[in-house]
Structure formats: C-alpha cells, structure tokens
Chains A and B, each alone.
Chain A
Amino acid sequence: MELAPSATWLIASQSARFVLREKTVALLAALFVTLVLISAWLGWQATATVDRIYIDAAAFLQKSGQPVPSNPVLDISPLSLMRNMSVYVALIGALSAIVIGNRLVGLDRKAGVLPLIGTRPFSRATYAKGKIAALGGLILLLALIAGVIAAATFLLLPAVVPNAAQWAQLAGFIGVSALYMAIFGLVGLGAGAAARSETVGLLVPVTLWLTLTFIFPQLTANLNPTAAINPISALAPLPETPFFHAAAQFLGPFSLADAYKFASAGLLDYLPQGIASPAFVPPLADLMLATLLAATFAWRALTRLSMAQGDYNV
C-alpha cells in the first residue's frame, strides 16, 4: 500500500510549484542564473587581461632595465575566478530569495485561500513548516545551479585545475551562499506573513537588504556603495581611526553583507593577506546566527497568520 504524503510535504511541494509558475520569480531566477554565468566569464576574462598586461609590462620593464616583479596572476588561486559570484549572490540572489519568500505566502493571501486552508486537518505549525521547507528547497535549487555552473567552468577551462581541498572550498562557498540567501528569504517569508499589505511585505525586507548591503559597510569600513559591490575593493583595510575599529568590532556582527563578504573571500581564496573580519563574531557563525533569527521571525509570523482572513487588509 502506498503511504500518503505528509501535510508538510504537500504544502511545500504545492507552494514551490505555485511560486515557480510566477513569471516574476522565473524572471529573477533566470537573471540570477545568467549573472552567475557572466560572473564565471568575468572572472576568467579579468584574470586573463591582468596576465596579458603583465606580459606587456614585463617586456617594458626589461627594456628600460628595471627589475621585473612576479606575475600577480600566479599568486591568485583558481577559485578566485569565481569571486564575482559572491557579488551576484549578495545582489540578485538575496533579492530573488526575498521575492520567493514573499510570494510563498503572498500568493495564498492574495488568492484569499487562507480560510480554506484553515479548514484542512493540519495546524498552522504544519503550514509554517511546509512554507519554510518550500523556501529551503527553492533556495537550495538556486545554489545548486550556481554550484553546477561554477564546477562546469572549472572543468571546461583546462588551464584551471582545482585540487580536492579547493573543490571542498567551492562546495563550502555554495553552502554559505545558500545560507545568505536563506536569511533574506526567511525575512521575506516572515514579512509577507506579518505585513498588513502586500507592498509593505515586500518593502520591509528590501529596505533591510539595502541597509545591510549599502549602509552598514560604510559604518564598519568607510566603504562606499560602489566599492561594496566589487569583490576586491570591498576588502580594503580599515581606516586607521578608533571609530572604525570600534564600529567594525561591534557593528560587524550585524553587518551581514560584511560577514558574507569575508566568508566568501576566505573560501574562494581571494582574501588579501593580513586582512580578516574585525567583528567579534566569526563570519560563518554570524551567518548561522542570523539564519536562526530569521527562521524564528518567519516561524512566529507564519504561526500567527490569521486563517480567518482572506485578502490583505488594505
């Protein structure tokens, strides 16, 4: 006899399918995948250009009788080819996760089906578990696509051969990226459930994302917004003032974009020597704590969702 699927599984799979049918979600997901592909090309192209510049510069220096320094490309790990991927995860990946989280609950609210769902023989906790599981599944799918593209790039470029430890680091980077997207997805899910209007449900997590991506790095490291989205410029040393040292240490744990930046740079081998996260909580632990906090928020909002109300209040 075939076992009936659990209510959590039914909610998760049906929600994920419903969200994937949304054109905007498909658009953002397609944009993410395209940018991940571009990031692989960018990494390769930029590194190859530096290599060609070095060859020209070395010839020039030799001709003028000056000493020729070592090629900076040789100091770069093959993994750092993927450094732009961390920027696209922080930009489009996080935004896609917010939209997925918001749509997972927003579609039910907008369709006015919550009272109907409320008549089914399962608790709101089951509903919450199903929605969180759907979000987790969709984010893992996005991360997996990014991982496959990164792996395929390394396999297709014969000059770039990562060793076993570097493959493990790449897997770690994909895991950290999934964690980072999950934080925003969970906030999107929670805000979508708690907000009185559809727009507020989307705006709250987007505002949080803007704050973490563009305002906090200025407070913690005087990083201007455009520097914050360049994987190399974002790792500049702290300005030598007591203010930035204190801000980086105490505000650092709240600056999730910084934590993701340091975790990614460490895993993809492009963290410059002598530079480390100045926050008192290590980046990975920080991201895990933030995921836990976001999951708690999403859980509370989903389990308090009124099943007696159809559409949004306003």
Chain B
Amino acid sequence: MSDAVLTPSPVRTIAAKDIRDALRDRFILIVTAFLGLAATVALVTGAIALRGDVATYEAAKATLLAIGKSADAIKAPEFYPLRLLRGAIEQIEIIGAAIAILLGYRSAASERGRQTLALIFTRPIRRWQFVAGKALAGVGLLAGGLALVLGGLTLVLHLMSGIGLTADDLLRIAIVWGVALTYTACFFLFSFILTLHMKQPSHALLVAFAVWLLLVLIAPQIGDTLDPDNQVAGGVFKQLNIAKPDQVQIMKGFATYETLRDGIEQASVTKHFERFTFAVLGIKATYAGMPLGAILTEMLGNLVWIFLTALGLGALALALPINPDRLSKA
C-alpha cells in the first residue's frame, strides 16, 4: 500500500486538528448553545403568541355563535407549523452570522497568536492546503452547530405543534440548513480572510463586525424603514382603508422609489437568505402551501446570490498569498 493512501492529506489533518481544538476549548459548544437558546426562545414565544390568537378566535367565535350569528365574520388564525420558525431563522441570520465571524477570527488568529504559522509552513504543505484545511474545519463546525440547532428546533416543533411534521416539512428544514450553512460560511470566510491578512487580528475582528452590522442589520433596516407601510402604526394603507388591489395600483406610481428600496435590500446577502428561507418555510404568506419545486424555481436568484458570495470568498481565501509579515502575532 502506498504512503499516499496511509498518510492523511494535509488539508484533512489541519481540518481535524482545528475541529479537535475547537471542541476541546468548548467555545463552539458555548456559542452553539447560545444560538440554540435564542432560536428556542423565538420558537416558544411564537407558539405562545399563536396559542393566544387561537384562544381569542375561539372566544370570539363562541360569543358570535351564542348570540346566533355566523362565525364567518371573523378570520380564523392560520396554522402552518413551519411558520413558527420565523424568529429562529432571524436569530440564525443575525447571531449565526456573528458566530461565524468569531469562528473565522479564531481560526486565523489561533495560529498567529501561538506563533505557529511560520512553523506550519516549514512542513511539506502548500499554503492553499493550509487555508483549505482551516476553511473545511470552520464550515464543518458551522454545519454541526446549525444541525444541532435546527435539529433541536425541529424536535420541539414536532412535539409542540400537535399535528407533527411531514416528510415535506423535514425536507424544507434540511434545505434551510444547507442554505444557512452557506450563508454563515460567507461570514466565516470574510472574517478568516481579514484576520489572516490584516496587520492586527483584533482590528480584523472589529472590521468584520462593522461589515456584519452593515450587511445584516443596517441594509435590511434601511429597506424596511423606507417601506411606506412601515411608517404608520398598523400600516398606511390599512389606516386609509385601501384594499390590496388598489394598493398595488397606487404603488405603481412609486416604482422608482420601490426599486431603490429593493436595491438597498438586495445589496445584502442577509436579505437573500431571508427571502429564500421565508419562502421555503411558507413564512411569507404568498408562499404558504405552495409546492417546494415552484418555490425553489422562483427563489433561484436568491440561492445563486448566496452560493456565489460563498464561492467568491472561498476563492479569494485560497488565492490571496499569505504575507510572511503576518505570520506572527501583531
């Protein structure tokens, strides 16, 4: 048997070592638990609120029936179990991305902090293999963490919903896991590249967080704030008693404004992640009950955007030459 078969590749060795290190110091476990807690709180509070809506509806229906009126006048709350994942998805898009930044920072900073980068490069290893090993470990850790969080949420949802989840529901959650992994990988790679190449690792962390703020919170917030319907409590059209078809007609006169608003949102990978996952899980009302194939076709643009961002950053991480001046702690 040749040595090539017996000796693991440098990429695998570095990835395995990084994963062992991350599990040993329990950092990944702590941050995964934090994300799991945030997502579970979102799921449970959403379920409690829905239960409240159902109770209010039942009480109103009973009152109407008791006075001999039809219950058709009031709208029954809609129940799609996957919709309860809305808050959890938003936590993944915000806190999950922040955790990915921390993982990327730690992955690059650990070698610089321990002054081991120079030593690694005295071994018969190519620089791209070092970067690929690190990236593989980071993506592997994110995959495991997200699988734990989404797996736990699925279990809670299955037990709480009362009607159980179908195979189609589970497939949708699995797709969301894959896309969430790609989305968080973008932030991991971005932070990893900055930390490996900037003069001071701590500055790289702060710059990565500044970009996180812009992409994850501020760009979607600007888009959301510019939505005219979010300017008046309850919605401007609701306050003016204007029906949906008429709203569309009126908004035709604001096409440029809406294009600008949408463009600001589109600039953020977070918004693409949100649009895709909200459609797949039926959180956005127009996609509730729609077959998965049709949703995936319609959401292909968002999916391509997320994958291209991750691929682009991955290629950049591999292509950038590691500067010998950055081999040690700054």
Contacts and interface: CB of A to CB of B under 8 A. Distances in A.
B79 interface: no
A9 interface: no
A244 B48 contact: yes
Interface residues of A, number: 58
A2 interface: no
Contacts of A222: 45-46, 48-49
A161 to B, nearest CB: 21
B41 to A, nearest CB: 5
A14 interface: no
B217 A241 contact: no
Given A23-B203, A50-B231, A219 B41 contact: yes
A137 interface: no
A46 B221 contact: no
Interface in A192-249: 198-199, 202-203, 206-207, 210-211, 214-215, 218-219, 222, 224-226, 229-233, 235, 239-241, 243-244
B102 A243 contact: no
Given A53-B228, A239-B48, A61 B94 contact: no
A116 interface: no
Nearest to B226: A46
Nearest to A58: B240
Interface stretch (A27-35, A149-157, A179-187, A301-309): A27-35
List the 6 closest A-B pairs by CB distance, nearest first. A241-B52, A24-B206, A239-B49, A225-B90, A272-B233, A222-B49
12 contacts: A24-B210, A27-B210, A31-B214, A49-B231, A52-B254, A57-B240, A99-B206, A199-B106, A218-B41, A222-B45, A224-B90, A229-B224
Interface of B: 34, 37-38, 41-42, 45-46, 48-49, 51-53, 55-56, 86-87, 90-91, 93-95, 98, 102, 105-106, 109, 202-203, 205-207, 209-210, 213-214, 217-218, 220-222, 224-226, 228, 230-233, 236-237, 239-242, 246, 249-251, 253-254, 257, 274
Given A46-B228, A243-B48, 15 more contacts: A42-B225, A46-B231, A50-B236, A57-B250, A88-B218, A95-B213, A206-B209, A210-B95, A210-B98, A211-B38, A218-B42, A218-B45, A226-B221, A226-B274, A239-B48
